[in-house]
Amino acid sequence: MYLKKNCIAMLLAGGQGSRLGVLTKRMAKPAIPFGGKYRIIDFPLSNCINSGIDTVGVLTQYQPYVLNSYIGNGQPWDMDRIRGGVSILPPYVRGKDGEWYTGTANAIYQNINYIDMNDPEYVLLLSGDHIYKMDYDRMLREHVANKADATIAVLEVPMQEASRFGIMNADEDGRITEFEEKPKHPKSNKASMGIYIFTWKKLRHYLELDEQDPNSSKDFGKNIIPRMLADGQRMMAYNFSGYWKDVGTIDSLWEANMDLLKPNLLNLHDDGWRIYSRTPAQAPHYVGSDATVENSLLTEGSVVNGDVRDSVIFHGARIAKGAVVRKSIVMPDAVIGEDAVVEYAIVGENAKVGAKAVIGGPPRQGDPQIAVVGPDITVEDCAIVKPGEMMSADVAAR
């Protein structure tokens, strides 16, 4: 029956993403450009439509303009549906007072009406800051076959890194026996990916319980999951293998972009699993007579007259003659001036790097230090931004 939805998704896109600094000053984290023509939220949204889930509520309260206008009517993701589709869900006033979202669980709690209106059997809970391709329908089928109350997607991480994650300890049938948030001595390496499927009736019950608990911080990881476990609910782990990356920091954002240049890590050429995005209508990119481009991604509307290697160049970006771009990310409509040198750097949307300016540099020793030029920032001719520096104001020549 068409009007009833079997499974809908709720996408938590409210995070301020303060660890991304100047990049999230004017937009929510899920709206950050990624991979040449995408924004982070394209990944969960495309995963949804490719998994047959056409009803997605996007919970947002922080700097929603860029995200809202990016999502628009949902058409790029084939979610401009008459029934279902993508809905932006901000906090609202009930009765006399309004209440901001105080935690992930509270955000879902405040939207119980939205979920009830769609009357689903199952609710898929997603984050807006992960890069991966995943068939949620397979996970849903396991959830149904297991008659689970909740199913949590887990990824095996290197044991030495396990203490940075929420770790799920499961028995041999995959039933979760214990959940430890960032354990000092992890018992397993199955890290929660922040992707949950709940049987809606059950989740609804626990959301209401949790809301009444004055000591709860209204968070899924801290409150709902432990409480359901304690109550002996049937919680299953779903093993995911494949590329998955949290891009919540400058370093991980840079790394995930660089990962796209490596073959076989994350295949975006997959006709059966397209990642959709909203792009401005621009001509194919142009590479000039004096340009060189190797081991890089380029997309529509960009113009390269300089020397680009090991980099990701977004739509509308322009690299002038003589400019050198290495191991860098040049975001939409950014301009790199003549003979400028950009290395191990992220240049934000619409930033202007002047002629002969120098942004970042190769690592002397140890990990690379990524330089960041914020969106709309102007770096004057001959100015210098040192490795690891983050510029949130215009940079004068030194």
Partner 1 sequence: MNALAIIFAYANNDKLKELTEKRTPASVPIGGRYRVVDFALSNMINSNITKVGIITRNNYQSLMDHVGNGKEWDLSRKRDGLYILPPYAQYDSNMQEYGGWIDALSAAMTFIRRSREKYVVLTTGEYVCNIDYEEVLAQHEKSEADITCIYRRDDRGTTGDIAYTLEGDRITDVLLGAGVEGEQNMSMDMFIIERQMLENLVREAAMRGQKSLARDIIRRHLNTLKIFGYEFKGYARRVDSVQAYMQINMDMLQEDVREELFNNPNGRIYTKVRDEMPAQYLEGARVRNSLVADGCIIEGEVENCVLARGVRIGKGAKVSNSIILQKSEVLAEAHLEHVIVDKDAIVRTGRTLIGRENLPVLIGKGMVI
**Interface residue list for partner 1 (CB under 8 A):** 1-3, 35-37, 75-76, 78, 80-83, 268-269, 274-277, 279-301, 303, 308, 312-313
Q: Which of residues 242-261 bind a copy of itself (CB under 8 A)?
A: none
Residue 15 Cβ vs a copy of itself, minimum distance, rounded to whole Å: 11
Q: Is the dihedral of CA 51, 53, 54, 55 positive or negative?
A: negative
Q: Are 114 and 94 in contact (CB under 8 A)?
A: no
- Please choose which of partner 1, a copy of itself, none residue 68 contacts, taking the beta carbon within 5 to 8 angstroms, the exact cut-off set by kind: a copy of itself
Give me 277's structure tokens.
Answer: 């995005």
Cβ proximity to partner 1: between 125 and 297 the closer is 297
CB of 151 to a copy of itself, least distance (A): 28
Please state the length of the chain: 398
The answer to the question of residue 216 lying near a copy of itself (CB under 8 A) is no
Given the complex with a copy of itself, which of 62 and 243 has the nearer CB atom? Answer: 62
53-to-64, 118, 236, 343 alpha-carbon distances in Å: 23, 12, 21, 41
- Asked if residue 64 binds a copy of itself (CB under 8 A), the reply is yes
Which token pair is 17? 């993403």
- Give the residue, chosen from 6, 19, 88, 249, that forms a contact with a copy of itself under the rule CB under 8 A: 88
- Are the CB atoms for 84 and 55 separated by under 8 Å? yes
Cα–Cα distance measured from residue 313 to residue 145, given in angstroms and rounded to the nearest whole number: 44
Cβ contact 66:73 at 8 Å: no
Residue 336 beta carbon to partner 1: minimum distance, rounded to whole angstroms: 17
Judged by CB under 8 A, does residue 288 bind a copy of itself?
no
Q: Which residues pair with 313 in a beta bridge?
A: 298, 330
* 72-106 exposure pattern, b = at least 16 Cβ within 10 A, e = fewer: eebebbbbeeeebbbbebbbeeeeeeeeebbbbbb
Tell which one of 65, 242, 295, 397 touches a copy of itself (CB under 8 A): 65
| Only segment of 69-77, 325-333, 337-345, 359-367 that touches a copy of itself (CB under 8 A) | 69-77
CB of 83 to a copy of itself, least distance (A): 9
CB 163 within 8 A of CB 150: no
Q: Quick one: which H or E segment has residue 105? A: helix 104-109
List the single partner that 229 binds among a copy of itself, partner 1, none, CB under 5 to 8 Å by kind: none
Task: Read off φ and ψ for residue 224, nearest 5 degrees.
Answer: -65, -50
Binding partner at 100 among a copy of itself, partner 1, none, C-beta below 5 to 8 Å by kind: a copy of itself
Task: Lay out the site mask for a copy of itself across 99-128 (x = CB under 8 A, - = otherwise).
Answer: -x------------xx--x-----------
| The binder of a copy of itself chosen from 75, 146, 350, 392 (CB under 8 A) | 75
- Reference 368, options 324, 310, 319; nearest CA is 310
Q: Which does 292 bind (CB under 5 to 8 A by kind): partner 1, a copy of itself, none?
A: partner 1
Tokens of 126: 């997603």
Q: Is 161 in the site for a copy of itself (CB under 8 A)?
A: no
Residue 12 to residue 57: CA distance in whole angstroms = 9
Instruction: Confirm or reject binding of residue 72 to a copy of itself (CB under 8 A).
Output: yes
Helix or strand or coil: residue 224? helix
Q: Which range in 5-13, 83-91, 139-147, 194-202 contacts a copy of itself by CB under 8 A? A: 83-91
Specify the residue, 88 or 382, whose C-beta has the smaller distance to a copy of itself.
88
Give dist(CA 308, CA 317) in Å, integer. Answer: 12
81 binds a copy of itself, rule: CB under 8 A: yes
The site for a copy of itself (CB under 8 A) is made up of 60-65, 68-69, 72-75, 80-82, 85, 87-88, 90-94, 98, 100, 113-114, 117
